Amino acid sequence: MRALVTGGSGFIGGHLVDELIKKGWEVISLDDHSSSSTEEFYINEDCTNYKIDISDKEEMEKFSQSLLEQDISIDYAFHLAARTKIQLAIKDFYGAYNTNVMGTINVLEFCKKHNVKRMVFSSTSSVYGNNPCPNVETQIPDCLNPYAASKLSGEKICDLYNSLYGIETVKLRYFNVFGERMPDKGSYAPVVAIFAKQKKQNLSLTIVGDGTQKRDFVYVKDVVRANILVSQVKAENVVGEVFNIGAGENFAIKDIADHISPRQVHIPKRENEANVTLANINKIKRMVGWMPDVNLIRWIRAGDE
C-alpha cells in the first residue's frame, strides 16, 4: 500500500511516517517546514519527501500531475499539515485559514484526482471550546479562536467531499498530544515539552496562570495507531464520522509540573483557550476498537528513571 502524509516531517506526522514504513507501506511525505522557528523537523529517508506548501494550489497541482505522469497511485491519505498554534493563529487569522482551509481543499482535490480510497483528517479538540467536559462528538462546537474555527471548517469540507464526490473521509479530534520529539521551541510549544526543556536547562518551570487548568494528554504513538486503524476498518464504521482521540483522563498543569521539578514560576494567563479539556472516547472504542495505552504521568516517571 502507498500513503500520502501531509505534515510528514512534523511531530505527529513524523511518527506516523515511521510506523507506516515499519508496517511495509510506501510513503510520500509533504511538508513545507514552515514552522522552523518553533519546531525541529524529522525526515525519514526511507520515504519520498517533498517540500511543498499545501495551501499553494499551483504547487499542489504540479505535484499531482507529476505523480500521474509517473503512474504513481496513492491508496490512503493522512492529512496532518496545519498551522496548529492557537495564539499564533489569533495573530495571523488569514494565515491560519489559508493553510487549514484552502490547504485542506487542495489535499482533497488531490485525493479526488488520484482516486484515493480514504483520507484521514487531523482535527482538534479546540472545537469544543467551553462545552462541559467530558467532550463528546455530538456537542455543538464552540470555537474560541481562529485555529479551532479553521479546523472545524476543514471537517465540514471533508464531509462535503464525501457527500458530493464519494471520497471517504474520517475526522480525528486530537486532544493534547505528547511524546518523543515533541517541539520544545517557542512559548507556544506543548507544556510537557517546555517543562522538560526547562528542567534540563536548570530553569524554573513556567506555569501559565495558576496552573489549575486541566488538559487531556494523549501519547503520540497512540494517535498514530488511531490514524492507521481508522484508515483500514470497514467504511460503515468510520466514513463520515468524527472521533475524539484523547486519553479519557486529564491532569492539572500544576500537578504535571510537580512531577517534573519543584522550581516553578507563574506567568500571565492566556486568553481564548479552554480551561479544561477531557475526551469522551467511548465512540472510537466501540466503533473502531481503539484505546490509548500510555499514561502521561507514568511516561514522565519512566523518563526520570
List, by residue number, the catalytic residues: 147
What are the CA-CA distances from residue 213 to residues 160, 189, 250 (Å)? 36, 17, 10
Angle between helices 11-22 and 220-232 in degrees, nearest 10 = 60
For residue 217, CA distances in Å to 5, 252, 256 come to: 23, 11, 11
Instruction: Yes or no: say if 41 and 9 are a contact pair by the CB < 8 Å rule.
Output: yes
Closest CA to 10 of 161, 146, 179: 179
The span from the CA of 57 to the CA of 103, in Å, is: 8
Strands ordered across the beta sheet of 26-30: 48-50, 26-30, 2-6, 76-79, 118-124, 168-174, 242-245
Cα 41 from Cα 8, distance rounded (Å): 9
Q: What is the identity of the amino acid at 259?
A: H
User: Cα–Cα distance between 139 and 136 in angstroms, integer?
Assistant: 6
101 vs 104: CA distance, rounded Å: 5
